[in-house]
Structure 1
């Protein structure tokens, strides 16, 4: 393994750890609770199964997570288009907590980017997008990539959404 490859691995691991730690402190929970809250913000209407898949947790694990979020007044369950499916949406309190968690995430990322100029970051963007696309090999995992994203930051040019379209074109 070369030095740069090793550095990418170390950076990704530590950045992920630091983001999880920061958002979990804000949310006051551990595990995938913060990711669920962040992900449900712009994606209201996801089913429990979609949330479980995105967070890589079992159906029973997501059921317990949703129960906790509902009991804490952060999520409401609604009937989907198919009455057999329950979809999830954040409450106003859930949206407020999501905003706080995203702000904590942003602070960690900005700390990581300290001393990197806007010019350097813009030039790195195509490389970072390609790295994401290299890992996104199945459309069903798209939510997993954005589970902790401030999805509005990439509108209208989200690399995951753009790559997701290629899966539809291939079908």
Structure 2
């Protein structure tokens, strides 16, 4: 009921939300809930808009290069956001900020609660390789994304992002 009230009466056209990622493993490092919760909220959002004759937009915010995130995770994010018909605009590379667990992981390469190593994109090229997946729909990145998907052994995702015209 709260969500319905919010969407119907308190959104002025665009509602920004922060699922931050789609992949469970990355969300766990972020200490965020499952992407399933975003799906459930989006269903409510779309339903309220249909029922009330509204044309509001849901604007998700996502982060690339967060500790624990790989190119394969970003490729999955691209496929899932494409399926939801999102052309992302609210995006950011991970930026270390003081006093956060994520920053501790970024600098140490180890999760402080588990003691296990965590992969971290640190170089400019590693960050760019992840960030370009946000913009799978931009023809500028198409060749690089296809080459990357082959390099990371995920050619199965090429057809999902760029289906052949029949």
- Structure with the bigger RCO (C-alpha within 8 Å, sep 6+) is 1
TM-score (norm 2): 0.24
- In proportion to residue count, which structure has more helix? 1
More strand by share: 2
**So what's the TM-score if we normalise by structure 1?**
0.24
